[in-house]
Amino acid sequence: GGKLKEISSLNFMVCTCGPKVNILQINTGKILHSIEQLSDASALMLVTASRALLLKQWDWKQEKCTRLWRAIHNVPVASMTFDCTSTLLATGGCDGSIKLWDVVKQYCTHNLRRSSGVVHLVEFHPDISRLQLFSSSVDCGIRIWDLRTSKCICVLESHYSAATALAFSPDGQTLISSGRDKICSVWDLEKKAVKRTVPVYEAVEGVVLLPGTSDFSQMGVKGEGLHFVTAGSKGKHCSSNQKYPRSLMHLLPMPQSNRLATVTAEHNLLIYQMPALTVQQQFVGYNDDILDVKFLGKDDTHIVVATNSSQLKVFELATNSCQILYGHTDTVLSIDVFRKGSMFASCAKDNSLRLWKMDLKSGHVHCVAQGSRHSNAVGSVACSRLKKAFLVSGSQDCTIKFVTLFSIIFSSVVLSLPHMFLKDVNSMTIFPNDKLLASGSQDRSAKLWSLADMSLLGVFRGHSRGVWCVQFSPVDQVLAKASADGSIKIWIIQDFSCLKVTIVSCSQNGINSFLWCTNNNFHSSKKTFLFIGYGCCVFFPRCLYMLYSFSALVCLYFSLSFSSCKDVTEVELAEEQAKQEDQVLKQQELSDLLHEKKYVKALGVAISLNQPHTALRVIREIRQQEDGIQELEKTLLKLRQDQKESLLRYCVVWNTNSRSCLDAQAVLQVLLTHLSPEEILQYQATRTHLEALIPYTERHMQRIGRLLQASMFLDYMWQKMRITGGIDR
């Protein structure tokens, strides 16, 4: 989310992403490089500003920092821009100041200081001969700076909120400004006056002037003159469905390809082709929790993903481009795909089901049917595997409904099983021959049904918590069910006997995922694999050559084949458990060593665990002793070089927090006092660590200095105070 820049004629885009900057290749959707913070880019250079008050110039093709200098601002940089020659860089700070930098000769040329509050927008006039800079801050005015005299020559006042974007006419005589006060102002830059105020009826975040040489009649342009495009809080999703608003946070022109790029409030990047304003590409920047994912298309060319939102996302695997599907009004909980792979069903918390179809030629997906026959949230849906088209839905109203697709709007429910469950139905799956249905419920059981008459064939029990997922094997007559108790049980469906119990540690942060070979204990002509993903989600992948696992924030890609797949055996499980037990023993050993005041060994154990917080606990324990300074010095000097390297790396982390900065500084004092600069420079990544330590150390020193001054004033006031009405002594 946030600012983005196009690298002209090179088919790349620079996108801000949290504390990083991603270089995105537009054609393929791949992130080529990932570097640091707030940025501005020309075709040849990229400059980033970080919260450490540093500016960095990058060779972005090689992902290499070519220059580093201090931003001089007292607080972080809020906005940046290059002039048209890419030689002058303007930075606007949160302290109300603006700095201009000559990036070729490498020095600060101007320091402009009349803005009030955060300078969130800086733009050069396109005519470089004018040498003018435009800026906007929280006082709602637009300042024009004459760079020859370093003075503000005019303040344009028309908006009642901060200006969010500026656009200049080709001749440089007209300026269009937008704001969150729901208006756009057209300015005559010769007279420094407003020519026209255009009401837009939405908070505007971006404005772009249309080139006068093209035909934009499809966009409603009928006459000559200046025309502009705005993006704001009521921005519409400009595809086939116009009734779902998209709050737009940024608008970027791409003149080389006659396109527009927008960033939505949900951190999605949409690229529109002009003049029709059709969505050409979509890139999803943030997914939140991934609740379900399925392959889609004839040859699994797409995947459809249910995230923690009311929208569905269909990704094209070749380009990472995404189509966002609107329709549900609450969180989508489950999706399932029919046999041919071009149709799928979805269910959501809005008590509804929707049927979607993909055009195999264009890849476009649209909704073909919808219905609501449940009285509570629909948590699971399962589609038929053979030619007969039907689906089964399970809901939090404790019912399962069997629905055929003859009625295009789901007006008829063929069979309904009311109150067959004590609690919510969480998951369902259909056997490959369409004869059996398995369901998992919050009542800690799974049930097997005959789809011919929806009769109950048997119950699988044994879990101590709710069953969140059930899956049939595609080649063996077994059922896998996963529970919130952290275990997966595999059952033989003929006699309802438990074949194997697998204990897994799969966390909700999506980090731990496992692949298991399920048929080591029984005869089978084919190997089947069970994948354990987010939370308690299990499935048997249809295609072992390409297995996709989506976690809360990242996508993990596994390239698997029969020759390269590694079976997770009981031996490896035992090794994993042994590692966990070893960590528990080390933690116990650490507590014993601290109790016995054997600090050298305790610190060595903490470093071996590679846990900075545990090492910090040992450092604090040492410093709390009566002779803490001498004890810390004696302990650190007995460490090995690799242990000192680890401590230096930990100090970088501790120094970023005011609660632990004193511990970091105490360690640094010992290391810098007793080690020569040559010895310290031999440590790995020492220069990087020092670059990270210096700005935070300066910030802590300034904070302590202010605190000391305040304490001096308090002491002065105390000395001068006398009790009113008391007797002088």
pLDDT digits (tens, 9 = 90+) for 445-454: 889 988 888 8
SS3 content of the chain, % helix, strand, coil (to 5): 20, 40, 45
What is the per-residue pLDDT across 95-116, written as a single tens digit (0 to 9) for each?
889 999 998 888 899 999 878 8
Bridge partners of 369?
Answer: 355
CATH code, domain carrying 644:
1.25.40
Contact 611, 619 (CB under 8 A): no
Distance, CA of 654 to CA of 645 (rounded, Å)? 14
Spell out where 192-274 has E strands: 193-199, 204-209, 228-232, 248-254, 259-264, 268-273
Please report whether residue 33 resides in a domain.
yes
Please report whether residue 455 resides in a domain.
no
CATH code, domain carrying 81:
2.130.10.10
pLDDT at 576 over 70: no
> What is the model's pLDDT at position 532?
45
> What is the model's pLDDT at position 9?
58
Please report whether residue 20 resides in a domain.
yes
Lowest mean pLDDT, pick from 255-259, 268-272, 345-349, 517-521: 517-521
Tokens of 310: 């009311």
Q: Is 444 left (phi over 0), alpha (psi -120 to 50) or beta?
A: left
Tokens of 113: 């200081």
Q: Which of 77-81, 211-215, 441-445 has the highest mean pLDDT?
A: 77-81
Q: Is 718 helix (H, G, I), strand (E, B) or coil?
A: helix
Q: Which long-range contacts (CB under 8 A, 24 or more apart) does 479-484 make?
A: 479/429, 479/438, 479/446, 479/448, 480/518, 480/530, 480/538, 480/540, 481/438, 481/440, 481/446, 481/538, 482/532, 482/536, 482/537, 482/538, 483/444, 483/536, 484/536
Phi then psi for 623, rounded to 5 degrees?
Answer: -70, -20
Distance, CA of 478 to CA of 472 (rounded, Å)? 6
Average pLDDT over residues 324-346: 87
Contact 38, 49 (CB under 8 A): yes
Contact 439, 428 (CB under 8 A): yes
pTM value is: 0.58
Average pLDDT over residues 298-309: 87
Tokens of 131: 């040498």
Buried b (16+ CB within 10 A) or exposed e, 309-332: bbbbbbbbbeebbbbbbbbbeebb
Contact 145, 130 (CB under 8 A): no
Please report whether residue 399 resides in a domain.
no
Bridge partners of 260?
Answer: 253, 272
> What is the model's pLDDT at position 554?
30
Which DSSP letter does residue 727 get? P
Average pLDDT over residues 686-715: 85
pLDDT at 184 over 90: yes
More confident residue, 568 or 698: 698
Tokens of 126: 């396109």
Distance, CA of 418 to CA of 379 (rounded, Å)? 15
The average confidence (pLDDT) of the chain is 79
Lowest mean pLDDT, pick from 127-131, 433-437, 550-554: 550-554
Residue 31 makes CB contacts below 8 A (sequence gap 6+) with 22, 23, 24, 25
Please report whether residue 116 resides in a domain.
yes
- The H-or-E segment that residue 680 falls in is helix 677-681
Q: By C-alpha distance, which of 448, 438, 445, 440 is closest to 469?
A: 440
What's the sign of the alpha-carbon dihedral 147, 150, 152, 154?
Answer: negative
Distance, CA of 440 to CA of 419 (rounded, Å)? 14
Q: By C-alpha distance, which of 450, 460, 444 is closest to 415?
A: 450
Provide the Cα torsion 698, 704, 709, 714; round to 10°: 170
Residue 727 makes CB contacts below 8 A (sequence gap 6+) with none
Average pLDDT over residues 222-238: 77
Average pLDDT over residues 201-210: 90
N-term to C-term CA, the chain = 68
Average pLDDT over residues 411-424: 58
> What is the model's pLDDT at position 44?
61
Domain membership of residue 602 as a residue range: 571-715
Average pLDDT over residues 676-681: 84
Identify the band that residue 342 occupies on the pLDDT scale cut at 50, 70 and 90.
confident
Report how many domains make up the chain: 2
Please report whether residue 652 resides in a domain.
yes
Q: What percent of the chain has pLDDT over 70?
A: 82
Lowest mean pLDDT, pick from 26-35, 133-142, 641-650: 26-35
Average pLDDT over residues 589-613: 82
Please report whether residue 504 resides in a domain.
no
Distance, CA of 224 to CA of 210 (rounded, Å)? 11
Q: By C-alpha distance, which of 290, 289, 298 is closest to 317?
A: 298
Quickly count: other Cβ atoms within 10 Å of residue 574's Cβ. 10
Q: By C-alpha distance, which of 337, 340, 346, 342 is closest to 362?
A: 342
Phi then psi for 646, rounded to 5 degrees?
Answer: -65, -40
Lowest mean pLDDT, pick from 159-168, 333-342, 397-406: 397-406
Provide the Cα torsion 151, 157, 162, 163; round to 10°: -80
94: exposed, middle or buried (Cβ count in 10 Å: 0-12, 13-18, 19+):
middle
Average pLDDT over residues 400-425: 63
Distance, CA of 287 to CA of 553 (rounded, Å)? 6
Contact 413, 396 (CB under 8 A): no
C-alpha triplet 639, 640, 644: angle, nearest 5°:
75
Distance, CA of 507 to CA of 660 (rounded, Å)? 29
pLDDT at 163 over 50: yes
Please report whether residue 662 resides in a domain.
yes
Instruction: Look up residue 657 and give its amino acid.
Output: N
Task: Give the largest CA-CA distance in the chain.
Answer: 105
What is the per-residue pLDDT across 525-570, written as a single tens digit (0 to 9) for each?
344 444 444 444 454 444 333 333 333 323 333 223 223 334 444 5
> What is the model's pLDDT at position 307?
86
> What is the model's pLDDT at position 559?
28
SS3 per-residue string spanning 563-589: CCCCCCCHHHHHHHHHHHHHHHHHHHH
Identify the band that residue 216 occupies on the pLDDT scale cut at 50, 70 and 90.
confident
